């Protein structure tokens, strides 16, 4: 479960609060169990649905409807997209959500796009919403595979939040390059507006195609372990967790248990892993992580962390999380 204290909050509901460690130590990424039990009651002050998807340059309205799901009771919907096709995604998303939610903010950089939606006709006042972006340059062919990150900083319902979606460098051997990109993104976003007297965000959420692969395993043993023991595969081979444990990236961040299969790489139009001549090793490259800046003030509960397997138009499966926040009584 990781380094967490359990805090009781209401009938049967549990939130998880990170334990503090001495300064100079590395927390790595803490694993949080999703309880699949959100009832959208007053036990939560803010519920957020977070979705990330590498679209591989393809989209249909039906896929977007499947991506968003049928449960629209959350307060905020955050959608991070990579390899977006040359279409008006904002309009398609607004059409799919027109009965329940409206667009609060967006940040786009060619094929890398981030959208935040809130309840339609809500009287919740948005005190501020800012956007920023950081590019690593380079585009890949017709699909404009832009690498970098875009972000939205928003103050909504009294919560100060930063959402970052990214597309990091590909290929299994480029671990240090990805680490460096993560650090540059963290240090550069909103840096022009940084004020040493400004209050920190309550929560930061990273979502996107982080491109960290499975390390030191060939494709056929990996596929066998996917069927038999996901936990062993994750614990011993996942680059993202390995690098976080080394203190290179995402110190103090949390992630839900990876109880779903690796989300890349699939044959288009199917749920079968890559059968091309490359026979790529499946990997969890599409991730959602979050960090509570002051766990004595704000707690988070994770109610869902899953892949959306019934979408077949991309070589990636989308990933969805349901995160709820609560202010602790002082």
Instruction: Read off the pLDDT of residues 67-106 as tens digits, 9 standing for 90 and up.
Output: 998 888 899 999 999 999 988 999 999 999 999 999 999 9
- The CATH number linked to 171 is 3.60.10.10
- pLDDT, mean of residues 286-293: 96
Counted domains in the chain: 1
Give the whole-angstrom CA distance, residue 105 versus residue 34: 28
Whether the per-residue pLDDT at 264 is higher than 70: the answer is yes
Mean pLDDT of the chain: 86
In a domain, 107, yes or no: yes
In a domain, 311, yes or no: yes
In a domain, 9, yes or no: no
CB 284 within 8 A of CB 240: yes
Nearest to 145 by CA among 116, 114, 168: 168
Whether the per-residue pLDDT at 284 is higher than 80: the answer is yes
In a domain, 248, yes or no: yes
Whether the per-residue pLDDT at 278 is higher than 90: the answer is yes
In a domain, 288, yes or no: yes
CB 300 within 8 A of CB 273: no
In a domain, 127, yes or no: yes
Q: What angle (nearest 5°) sits at the alpha carbon of residue 211, between those of residues 210 and 215?
A: 125
Phi and psi, residue 243, nearest 5°: -70, -35
3-class secondary-structure state, position 191: helix
Q: For 123-147, give the DSSP string.
A: ---EEEEEEEEEE-----GGG----
> In terms of residue numbers, what domain contains 148?
28-193+200-270+278-327
3-class secondary-structure state, position 36: coil
Nearest to 2 by CA among 227, 264, 250, 204: 250
3-class secondary-structure state, position 245: helix
In a domain, 5, yes or no: no
Confidence bin at 130 (pLDDT 50/70/90): confident
CB 131 within 8 A of CB 151: yes
Note the pLDDT of residue 13: 47
């Amino acid at each position: 479960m990781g380094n967490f204290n359990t805090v009781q909050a209401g009938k049967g509901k549990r939130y998880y609060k990170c334990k503090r460690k001495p300064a100079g130590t590395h927390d790595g990424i803490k694993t949080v169990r999703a309880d699949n039990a959100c009832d959208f009651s007053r036990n939560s002050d803010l519920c957020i649905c977070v979705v990330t998807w590498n679209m591989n340059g393809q989209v249909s309205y039906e896929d977007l409807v499947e991506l968003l799901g049928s449960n629209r009771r959350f307060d905020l919907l955050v959608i991070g997209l990579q390899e977006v096709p040359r279409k008006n995604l904002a309009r398609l998303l607004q059409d799919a959500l027109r009965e329940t939610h409206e667009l609060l903010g967006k940040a786009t950089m060619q094929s890398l796009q981030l959208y935040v939606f809130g309840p339609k006709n809500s009287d919740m006042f948005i005190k501020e919403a800012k956007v920023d972006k950081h590019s690593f340059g380079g585009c890949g062919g017709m699909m404009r595979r832009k690498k970098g990150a875009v972000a939205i900083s928003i103050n909504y319902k009294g919560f100060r939040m930063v959402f970052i979606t990214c597309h990091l460098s590909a290929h299994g051997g480029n671990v240090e390059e990805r680490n460096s990109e993560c650090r540059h993104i963290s240090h550069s976003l909103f840096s022009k507006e940084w004020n040493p007297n400004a209050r920190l965000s309550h929560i930061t959420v990273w979502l996107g195609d982080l491109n960290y692969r499975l390390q030191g395993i060939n494709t056929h043993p990996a596929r066998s372990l996917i069927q038999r023991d996901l936990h062993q595969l994750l614990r011993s081979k996942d680059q993202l967790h390995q690098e976080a444990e080394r203190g290179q990236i995402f110190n103090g961040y949390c992630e839900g248990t990876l109880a779903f299969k690796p989300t890349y790489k699939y044959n288009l139009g199917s749920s079968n892993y890559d059968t091309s001549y490359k026979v790529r090793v499946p990997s969890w490259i599409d991730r959602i992580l979050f960090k509570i800046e002051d766990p004595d003030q704000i707690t988070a509960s994770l109610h869902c962390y899953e892949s959306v397997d019934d979408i077949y138009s991309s070589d990636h499966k989308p990933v969805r999380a349901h995160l709820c926040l609560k202010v602790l009584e002082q």
